[in-house]
Structure 1
Amino acid sequence: MSKDFYTVKKQVEVEMEERKSIFICNIKRVTNEEEAMNFINEIKIKYKDATHNVYAYITNNGISMRYSDDGEPQGTAGPPVLEVLKRENLNNVAVVVTRYFGGILLGAGGLVRAYSASCKQGVDAAGKVKESEAIVFELKCDYEKYGKINNYLSKRNIIIKNVEFTEIVTIEIMAFFNEFQKIRQDLIEMLNGNDIINIKEENVTCFVDDEGKIMEVPS
């Protein structure tokens, strides 16, 4: 990835009141635009009696973005929500801010502030986790080499996804993309120059904990 992106740790729903209007923010981590729209439609059905269901999402490393004012004055709802997501460097996230009108007009400036505040409240409640790019690969070795390789892997910032013990040992590993070549070269040297490493998945989204360690799912 060309820049650091974050996503939300968990799905949350938070509510606030602004001059008798109720604003409900629902926010969720998604992996693509289809998931984003499915989530948005679920919330719109859940709150089908609301005055407005404003939404925004960002996916594809910040490239794919979309928003809707859903009947609010143009530019007073969807864009402010999207701007909060952009300002927080969020990716793979969808948010719906539902409004139940309380009878008092907020004006354009008031709407921008209220929708922005509701979205920010949702982001803060959901928490943020850093995204990174990973690669999943498979390594095959004999039992004689397994101990040495396992000792090496235990000291690396990786995830061992699976180990199979048959006639040989097969290890499935997830590693940060930018560390893969170094790990691969080290393993080849341990295997006396034999390159029996098979890449299974590239461009995999992974997460980074507060200590910089790789995670599959935010904790």
Structure 2
Amino acid sequence: MDNDSVATAYTTLDGEHVAELEIKRSRFITYLRRVESEPEARALISELRKKHFDARHHCSAFLLGPDRTAMRSNDDGEPSGTAGIPMLDALAKRETSAGRTDLSDVVAVVVRYFGGILLGAGGLVRAYSESVSSALDTAPLLRRQRLRILGINSDYAAVGRLENDLRAAGVRVLGTDYGPALATLRVGLNDEGSILTTFYDRLATLSAGASSAEDLGTEWVDAR
């Protein structure tokens, strides 16, 4: 994912989830899956067309990226604007932790088995929106964070104590690489300016100025 993204954290689905509603004898089966690319999202749609080959509609919506730079929806034969857009709205406007609307990297597919009763445009909008919203009510979610990865060089004699001190201070230690002359601790910090500044000050104190940190870039991790 793009390191220049404005977002430093967002919410996504923890795996996949299925839920079902019956509305005026029509069955609405909602599939949610965590995805990280448009081909992955479209793969679920294709998979469900084969699995539910006898269903009337396979409507879909997905949003991708920490800043939700990709958003797509499809009515799949339902009247224009009555399925895909309400589904996308349900995903995009979903409140997660602390009132955030930051759900992303999720595809929703609603498979509809027509029950013989026409719902009308308003009824369809409500049905598809409710199908996704109710599925999200019971879906497992998790936070993803963008970490700034730093490498800290230390001599072998001091690296164990430095690692223990960093862990005690709440720093996420990702591992230690041992070179011919020095050991390098890799740590991950929330990618925010104030946190980085505080860390550099703490490192200087813990190592008595003997260790410095090299910026190794960023990576996204699941915060469980």
Q: TM-score, normalised by structure 2?
A: 0.81
CA contact (8 A) 2:167 2:173 kept: no
Between the aligned partners of 1:142 and 1:42, the Cα distance in structure 2 is: 53
Aligned twin of 1:101: 114
How far 1:52 moved relative to its partner? 0.7
How far 1:155 moved relative to its partner? 3.0
CA contact (8 A) 1:145 1:191 kept: no
Between the aligned partners of 1:194 and 1:159, the Cα distance in structure 2 is: 17
Amino acid at match of 1:132: Q
How many residues are aligned here?
207
Counterpart mapping for 1:155-170 below 5 A: 155-165=168-178, 167=180, 168-170=182-184
Aligned twin of 1:27: 32
What value does the CA root-mean-square deviation take over the aligned residues?
A: 2.4
Between the aligned partners of 2:106 and 2:138, the Cα distance in structure 1 is: 14
- Which range moved further: 121-130 or 88-97? 121-130
Whether 1:176 and 2:190 are equivalent positions in the alignment is yes
Aligned twin of 1:195: 212
CA contact (8 A) 2:8 2:146 kept: no
Aligned twin of 1:36: 41
Amino acid at match of 1:151: N
CA contact (8 A) 1:15 1:22 kept: yes
Aligned twin of 1:83: 89
- Which range moved further: 127-136 or 102-111? 127-136
CA contact (8 A) 1:67 1:79 kept: yes
Structure 1 stretches of 5 or more lacking a match? 208-214
- Which range moved further: 64-73 or 124-133? 124-133
Between the aligned partners of 2:44 and 2:153, the Cα distance in structure 1 is: 40
Q: Secondary structure at the match of 2:175?
A: strand
- Which range moved further: 67-76 or 113-122? 113-122
Between the aligned partners of 2:62 and 2:20, the Cα distance in structure 1 is: 19
Between the aligned partners of 2:120 and 2:108, the Cα distance in structure 1 is: 23
Q: 1:148 aligns with which of 161, 165, 176?
A: 161
Q: Percent identity?
A: 31
Aligned twin of 1:212: none
Aligned twin of 1:6: 11
- Which range moved further: 174-183 or 90-99? 174-183
